[in-house]
Structure 1
Amino acid sequence: MNTRTIARRAALAGATVTAAVVLTACGGDHSSGGNHGMPAATGAAPSAGASAATVDDADVMFAQMMIPHHQQAVEMADLATTRAGDSEVKRLAGQIKAAQGPEIATMSGWLAEWGRPAPSPGAEMPHMDHGMPGMMSEADMSKLAAASGREFDRQFLTMMIAHHEGAVTMAQTELSEGADPRAKDLAQQIITSQQAEIATMRKILDRL
């Protein structure tokens, strides 16, 4: 009786202690989760991070470099108005100007919104030493301005293909490194439209 009773009491006491420990541990886990707030903090962090990363340096560089790049394309398209001999070249030049003019205004607006400087004609931004792919030199532009008719058409198409390819390269960089959804959307739009125009220009060039 004594040995069995003692054993049963010991077992009951152990079960009671175990239950208390389990209850305490459960309560501690719940309290700890509430006190530390890790799930809530983890859930809130991406939102705060996404807001902070809405614009990054790649977005700013994309706009600051694409604006003068587009401006040169518009300048080339303006030359085609009076110098091009082929009607399809004139039509394409008008299409390029109609698309890139508003995009310049859009990107200039973003830079103002972001509190970053917009490039002015002839001025260089701090990162311009990276170079802008596809940009024509002053000598290239002078040569184009001096041409007319079929000679102009071939020069224009050859130069604009290279110019568009440079813009596509810059837009692809924005897609891979940028953060602002609007800038990335524009980058994709530039890639799609300018690749289509490159294909059209190559066809025209083949028949000239």
Structure 2
Amino acid sequence: MGYFDLNDVKLRVWAVAMAFRVFLHSVMFSNTYTQAKQSATVDRPPLSNHFLKNQTIRLPSSSTAPTVTPSLPAPAASVPALSSNDAILQLLLPALQAIASSHHSPYGLGPHHYPHQYPPFGAPGPPPPEPVPVQCPVSPPVVLPCVITLDEYCVRYQVNEDDRRVLAELGYEPGDNGLKTLDKETWEAVKVLPLAKGRILRQHDAFLKDVRAGSWD
């Protein structure tokens, strides 16, 4: 076998051919195994137009080669130059690693590939759930010992005339706990003053307390 001028193109063609040989050898297909044994190696170039016989380098004979006398002393320490085989292996190594990784790793992932965590590290997490509003327990209805009229209620708790008017327009009956759940618009509709509203609610609470204590029995 002759020698070739291994430029960048020839090195890449040689490396790809060797990588293809390793791939064919790994899968061990019967129809490709023979082809794998006949393809390129470190010592044998591939069958390619870049490695034709007429492209080999002709070495000069020893009788015609001129003798060159070195004019400079040899350096004290030198880095050994890569041979052609070493250069091919250096170029071939990334291709071999890529083939080995895709052949042995599931889903075509690299050997050291790990799925990304969710959420990614440093990213803000999901927002906390919104708090559920706490509903105040509803007071159980008060069972009156007897029928109590609005007039009796107003006399007992000294409800003035304007507050009695408000209760009458609201349709209030003594003990009706719906009085405490009325919205602002309803209170404004009967033209109740802010202090009067608080007084009416306190009288209502006092009535319920007295009923539970048996004062109306």
TM-score (norm 2): 0.22
Bigger helix fraction:
1
Bigger CA radius of gyration: 2
TM-score (norm 1): 0.23
Q: Which has the higher contact order (CA 8 A, sep 6+)?
A: 1
